[in-house]
Structure 1
Amino acid sequence: MTTLTPVAEGIWCRSAPQNFFGFHVGTRMTVVRLTSGGLLLHSPVSITPELRAAIDELGPVRHIVCPNLFHHLYAGEALAAWPQAVLHGPEKLQRKRGDLKFGATLTERPHPDWGGDFELVTIEGCLLGETAFYHRPTRSLIACDLVENFAHSDHLPTRWYLRLGGILGEVGWHRMLRLVYVNRRKARASFDRILQWPFERLVLAHGDVLEDDAREKLRKAMNWL
């Protein structure tokens, strides 16, 4: 595994192992160079010395983002590595993780440092509390748990899990996890706003990055909503 993988101009990713009830679903951090200067870390993974050195070579880390209520496990490691950075998270996450020193509440209103880079939409009617990031300069949608994209899995129980959920080899959202959408009308309205963005790729947390026809694939994957 390379330390950081470039996915677009000024955007890099780091994939890492992650289990979900014993299933090997992996996770992904996205690193974005801001036009205002410095870096933003979206959904941090465990910060090894090797990874920290690779990120430091790109520039100073100014912002660390927990984009929903569940992608926060390594936020403390990231903040310890870069204590000068501002930690962002939803209000509910800040109550959940009182041990973390948040510097800003994540909403649809971009931080002043992000004004030239991102547009944001928070998914209403969903227990995940996710805010999606549209990176205007590269037409990239950056999110964690909108959809998953697993072409295959080497882990047999994970293949069973993906197949039962209807997403092995298909871009989609596991049938079991659809229960987190408690108000589909509100969620559908949020997704319709996201689909208005002209994004060309989708950087997600679980599975492969969508590089081709990402907007249409997201639209089809969420037709059930």
Structure 2
Amino acid sequence: MIRQLDSEIWVIDHADFELGPGIRIGTRTTVIRLTDGGLWVHSPGPLTEDLIQEINRLGPVRFLVAPNTFHHLFVSENCTAWPSAKLYVAPGLSEKRKDLSGTLELGTDPDPGWSAEVDQCLIEGSPRLGEVVFRHGASRTLILTDWVFNVGRPDSLGARFFFTLTGVLGGVSVSRLIRFLTRDKAAARRSFERVLQWDFNRIVMAHGDVLEQGGPSCLRGALSRIGMTSD
């Protein structure tokens, strides 16, 4: 169930996740093992007892990260599975999920527990999404959630319809929904200019295929097509 991408980084593909009846778009969790042996879990997904055991074999879960205001559906069950983990949430999510207790808000500065290994950047200009993106330095991996999709051939008619409607079918691209939610394009552009200065090759996103190489040029191309780069 867990697939290793590189040294100390794994993904969990939740292929059966449905946005609605018949709209199986899938989602993805990323797990990083920090140098102290603890785990950093990005976009926590649905759990089974077998999956909990697999994750526990990698190490103790120290951090749970809900990276935007959309990816929170499975946070509670992950908090129950790992009650001692710190829960970090995107700006605005605490207001949306008042049932979550003890939350810490993500921002520009990472927690000292991961700051030496994982960079982060709040993408400004889209407060209703509030997405924070990350980079795992050791594996040169950029971790996005909903800002960029990489959809090839969906295996269901509902998913194909959804991805076509949102304009993300056929490669690395930004959805129409994210474009609609971005009210300050200049602020978002400045945020991504910072991200594009990071050293990365691979891109992991929540929906679609992991992009194993050529990440900077593909990200720049996707942003350029919607007027989100300065060149």
TM range (shorter): over 0.9
**Residue 121 in structure 1 maps to residue 102 in structure 2:** no
Structure 1 residues 102-117: aligned runs within 5 Å = 102-117=102-117
Task: Note the alpha carbon deviations across 1:175-224, whole angstroms, 9 max, x for none.
Answer: 34410111111111111111111111011100001102011101101111
The TM-score, its normalising length taken from structure 2, stands at 0.92
2:175 corresponds to: 174
Whole-Å Cα distance in 1 between the matches of residues 7 and 53 of structure 2? 20
Deviates further, 96-105 or 131-140:
96-105
Kept in 2, the 8 Å contact 1:65–1:89? The answer is yes
CA-to-aligned-CA distance 1:159-183 (integer Å, 9 cap, x gap): 2332344322221022344101111
Give the Cα–Cα distance (whole angstroms) in 2 for the partners of residues 79 and 60 of structure 1: 13
Q: Which moved more, 1:75-84 or 1:156-165?
A: 156-165
Change (3 A) 1:170 1:59: same
2:201 maps to which residue? 200
What is the correspondence of 1:11-160 to structure 2 with a 5 Å cutoff? 11-16=9-14, 17-22=16-21, 23-126=23-126, 127-160=128-161
**Matches of 1:215 and 1:135 in 2, distance apart?**
14
Where does the alignment leave 5 or more consecutive residues of structure 1 unmatched? none
In 2, Cα distance between the equivalents of 1:103 and 1:158? 33
State how many pairs are aligned: 223
Overall identity of the aligned pairs, in %? 41
Question: Residue 188 in 1 paired to residue 186 in 2?
Answer: no
Counterpart CA distance in 1 for 2:73 and 2:177 is 22
Q: Give the gaps of 5 or more residues in structure 2.
A: none
Distance 1:143 1:166 in 2: 18
Are 1:89 and 1:102, in contact at CA under 8 Å, matched by a contact in 2?
A: no
